[in-house]
């Protein structure tokens, strides 16, 4: 068996490799044009929410505690206008077996892989998801390989990613570490082809259906404890699966009036595939470097169609700065007695600011936390930032420049979300959809699809198409 | 100790793509350097020294080749140096909560 293993040859075999590795025929849900049957895909491929609960429950995932953050609420009220300052709660997802909500996301994939007779699972991820897949694989007796983008060309690794490698190895996984670059996908394909393992992608319907239980639990827990659904749920947003799954779960539980707000760390100006800039950032997820491109074109992942489609579910999208998230992480430990990892606290920083816009009797929920430890903690992350020439100062976060400095807010009144204009992202989405389908004629079906994808009406879609000079 | 024996846990290194082989869409600074890879496994050669091309069996049982770069590879990440810039936060928050003044 002497296959051509060159970059080009392996990429040319992509579809064939992927089909074997996820066992999903995405063609079933495609139509000729831009549209595809998203809900059909979620229904046919995934599991029902009751099945997922059962699968997750078997390995101790879910039913994580909710904490009311009374001191942070009191603090927010000090800086809020009269009568404002919603009650802030957090769902402690760090309590899941692998230390984050990603356990939910991995559960059904690994379960499905086992059921279908795969001997092992592979995932391409530098973050919590690797630990989640490795942990689930250990529980179900499957082999596991995690492929990470970890180092720059000077062989310096982000402390948070190095920690994740350790955690994956602790669960018996093999960890393949790479330097910066999108060709990680090539290594990933080579491994899938060689091993015949299952592609435990973050973006299949299995993964997203797994997160639905998170939204569902939030709805149920609040109904039971507070007698109502939360008014606002804030989700840290990168590839969009966290928000999509949570929102779908809320809707399934009947919490259709709950506002879902996405929050990302502002890393504007930094290029994610740049070797030199790789270690200039202090967040490896939950940032705009993933958040914006994945929201405006979700089908850029390791499967043909992503089940994470955040623009379908977002009511608002806000950014916070690295310094604000570090500050709130320290605050969570200091006044709430909860030491948790920074990436998960992106939505907490946002919630602290958003609570000040809402009436006191409203409920705002931060839907997750993540574990913390050596490397994955504000202290080593800031220490690493300084080693890479980043200035750490105390001041007004408005003065931050990603890649140059980190500004810790002078006091809590300086924590302020920045609004991303959703209509602009929606316009980009439509533009990308057109650019990726330049050879097709736009039909009524496509327009309806674009309206669903952007959560707008058909008039909005048509106005953008007109503006772009696209015939339909 | 720079010599590893059969069965020792070691770290190996490979170049996956040279600078010339890199994908067209990567930024210029990334294109200038190779795509490099590290993995770990049990040494299959009878003996090897740092820098030798070796074969290992990874923890899940794959056999792969590469240059041996570390024996009994260590995790070196830690809690970093103390970051004095963070030290005001807890006291500031407590003083605000206790009714003290905020910074201004
Ligand atoms: C703790 C934590 N929160 C949020 C996210 C963001 O999730 P998503 O990429 O689905 O938007 C991640 C994933 O990287 C994560 O690990």
Q: What is the pLDDT of residues A241-272, one digit of tens each?
A: 999 999 999 999 999 999 999 999 999 999 99
Q: Looking at residue B103, what is its pLDDT?
A: 44
What pLDDT score was predicted for residue B104?
A: 41
B58-64 contacts, C-beta under 8 A, 24 or more apart: B58/A174, B59/A169, B59/A172, B59/A173, B59/A174, B60/A120, B60/A143, B60/A144, B60/A145, B60/A172, B60/A173, B60/A174, B61/A143, B62/A145, B62/A174, B62/A194, B62/A195, B64/B12, B64/B39
B10 touches B43 (CB < 8 A):
yes
Instruction: Name chain B contacts of A162, Cβ cutoff 8 Å.
Output: 75-77
Where does A92-247 show beta strands of DSSP type E?
A: 120-124, 143-151, 174-179, 198-199, 232-236
Q: Hey, are the CB atoms on B102 and A411 less than 8 Å from each other? A: yes
What is the average pLDDT score of chain A?
96
Q: What is the ipTM of this complex?
A: 0.95
**Helix or strand or coil: residue B67?**
strand
Atom 2 of ligand 1, residue of closest alpha carbon: A344
- State the pLDDT at residue B102: 47
β-pair partners for A175: A146
pTM across the whole model = 0.97
For residue A399 the two structure tokens come to 């003065």
**What 3-state DSSP class applies to A409?**
strand
pLDDT < 70: residue spans in chain B: 1, 100-104
Residues in chain A predicted with pLDDT less than 50, given as ranges, are none
Over the stretch A372-410, which tens digit does the pLDDT of each residue have? 999 999 999 999 999 999 999 999 999 999 999 999 999
- Residue in the structure block whose two tokens are 């999108």: A182
Residue B71 Cα distances to A293, A364, B2, B12, B54, angstroms? 40, 50, 7, 9, 12
Distance separating alpha carbons of residues B67 and B16, to the nearest angstrom: 12
What local confidence, expressed as pLDDT, does residue B33 receive? Answer: 97
Protein residue with least CA distance to atom 7, ligand 1: A242
Distance CA A271, CA B12 (A): 29
Q: Which two tokens stand for residue A368?
A: 């997750």
Angle formed by the axes of helices A70-79 and B88-97, nearest 10°: 80
User: How far, in Å, are A68, A78, A213 from residue A346 at the CA level?
Assistant: 17, 21, 21
What is the rounded end-to-end Cα distance, in angstroms, of chain B? 58
Set of chain A residues whose Cβ sits within 8 Å of the Cβ of B38: 150-151, 176-178
What are the pocket residues of ligand 1 if the criterion is a CB atom closer than 6 Å to any ligand atom?
A 100, 102, 127-128, 236-243, 285-286, 308, 343-344, 368, 370
């Amino acid at each position: 068996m002497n296959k051509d293993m060159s970059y080009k040859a392996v990429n040319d075999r992509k579809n064939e490799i992927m089909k074997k590795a996820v066992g999903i025929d995405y063609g079933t849900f495609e139509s000729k044009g831009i549209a595809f049957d998203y809900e059909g895909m979620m229904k046919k491929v995934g599991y029902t929410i009751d099945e997922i609960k059962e699968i997750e429950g078997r390995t101790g995932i879910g039913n994580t505690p909710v904490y009311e953050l009374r001191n942070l609420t009191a603090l927010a009220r000090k800086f809020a206008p009269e009568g404002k300052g919603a009650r802030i709660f957090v769902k402690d997802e760090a309590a899941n077996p692998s230390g984050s909500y990603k356990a939910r996301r991995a559960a059904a994939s690994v379960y499905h892989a086992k059921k279908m007779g795969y001997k092992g699972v592979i995932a391409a991820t530098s973050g919590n998801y690797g630990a989640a897949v490795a942990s689930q694989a250990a529980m179900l007796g499957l082999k596991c390989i995690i492929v990470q983008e970890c180092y720059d060309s000077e062989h310096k690794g982000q402390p948070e990613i190095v920690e994740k490698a350790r955690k994956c190895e602790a669960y018996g996984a093999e960890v393949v570490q790479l330097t910066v670059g999108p060709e990680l996908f090539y290594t990933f394909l080579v491994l899938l082809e060689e091993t015949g393992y299952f592609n435990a992608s973050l973006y299949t319907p299995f993964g997203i259906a797994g997160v639905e239980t998170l939204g569902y639990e939030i709805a149920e827990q609040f109904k039971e404890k507070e007698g109502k659904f939360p008014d606002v749920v804030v989700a840290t947003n990168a590839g969009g699966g966290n928000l999509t799954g949570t929102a779908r779960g809320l809707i399934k539980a009947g919490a259709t009036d709950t506002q879902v707000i996405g929050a990302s760390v502002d890393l504007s100006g930094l290029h994610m595939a740049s070797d030199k800039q790789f270690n200039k950032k202090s967040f490896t997820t939950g940032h705009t470097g993933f958040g914006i491109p994945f929201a405006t074109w979700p089908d850029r992942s390791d499967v043909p169609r992503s089940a994470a489609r955040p623009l379908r579910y977002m009511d608002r999208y806000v950014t916070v700065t690295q310094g604000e998230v570090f500050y709130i992480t320290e605050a969570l430990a200091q006044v709430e007695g909860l030491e948790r990892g920074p990436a998960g606290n992106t939505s907490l920083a946002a919630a602290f600011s958003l609570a000040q816009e809402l009436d006191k009797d409203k409920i705002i929920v931060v839907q997750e936390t993540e574990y913390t430890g050596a490397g994955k903690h504000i202290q080593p992350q800031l220490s690493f930032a300084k080693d890479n020439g980043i200035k750490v100062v105390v001041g007004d976060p408005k003065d931050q420049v990603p890649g140059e400095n980190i500004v810790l807010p002078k006091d809590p009144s300086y924590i302020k979300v920045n609004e991303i204009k959703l209509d602009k992202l929606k316009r980009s989405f439509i533009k990308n959809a057109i650019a990726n389908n330049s050879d097709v004629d736009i039909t009524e079906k496509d327009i309806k699809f674009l309206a669903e994808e952007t959560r707008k009406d058909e008039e909005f879609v048509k106005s953008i198409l007109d503006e772009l000079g696209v015939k339909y | 100790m720079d010599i590893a024996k059969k069965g020792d846990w070691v770290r190996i290194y490979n170049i996956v793509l040279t600078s010339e082989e890199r994908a067209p869409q990567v930024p210029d600074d990334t294109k200038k350097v190779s795509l490099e890879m590290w993995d770990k496994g049990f040494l299959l050669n009878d003996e090897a020294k740092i820098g030798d091309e070796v074969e290992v069996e990874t923890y899940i049982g794959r056999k792969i080749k590469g240059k041996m770069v570390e024996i009994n590879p260590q995790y070196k990440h830690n809690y970093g140096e103390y970051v004095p810039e963070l030290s005001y936060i807890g006291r500031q928050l407590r003083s605000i909560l206790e009714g003290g003044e905020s910074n201004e």
